[in-house]
Amino acid sequence: MTGEPDIPYPGMGTLDNGGMGSPTQFMMDMEIRKSEFALKDKIAIDEETLPFDEICDKVRKGEDFLESPHTISHFRELWSSKIFLTENPTPGVWEGDEKSILDKCDELWRENIKGYKPPKWADEKIKALDDLLIRAKKELI
């Protein structure tokens, strides 16, 4: 949206037009950004990456190229997601619906919090941040 691929797209983790933040939404937004970066580099166009004759043959026969052995053997090379699973829905494991995606996003951010370790900062930096927090609270009250 901004024309700058290194700048996260606006609204990372926000809901209600930016009125509130959601760690679950942030995890989904981050996964979407990962998919964009997977395609940042150019993809080689050759017979291995784009078997044109095979695609044409499948289309002429009314077959689905996406289910061909070629696609199956290559589809995870660029990007594979923990959130947007590509398996067929499996009741009790992966329902394949919006709720499943949101549940996985929620699970991932909660797991991230469990492993959080605060950075090791110098005492003067911590004091400066504490002072900033005190001033900000005074302004907001």
- Check whether 127 has a pLDDT greater than 60: yes
In the chain, the DSSP E strands lie at: 14-15, 20-21
Query: Looking at the DSSP assignment, which residues form a beta bridge with residue 14?
Result: 21
Residue 105: name the closest of 25, 49, 44 by CA: 25
Q: Count the domains in the chain.
A: 1
Contact in structure between 35 and 82 (CB atoms under 8 Å) = no
Residue 36 lies in a domain: yes
pLDDT band at 133 (very low <50, low <70, confident <90, very high): very high
- Check whether 7 has a pLDDT greater than 50: yes
Residue 123 lies in a domain: yes
CA angle (36 as vertex; 49, 17 as ends), nearest 5: 150
Structure tokens at 73: 């053997």
Residue 55 lies in a domain: no
How do residues 60-106 score in pLDDT, each as one tens digit?
999 888 778 877 777 666 667 778 766 666 766 667 788 888 998 99
pLDDT for the residue 4: 56
Residue 35 lies in a domain: yes
Kindly report which listed range (19-28, 31-40, 73-82) carries the lowest average pLDDT score.
Answer: 73-82
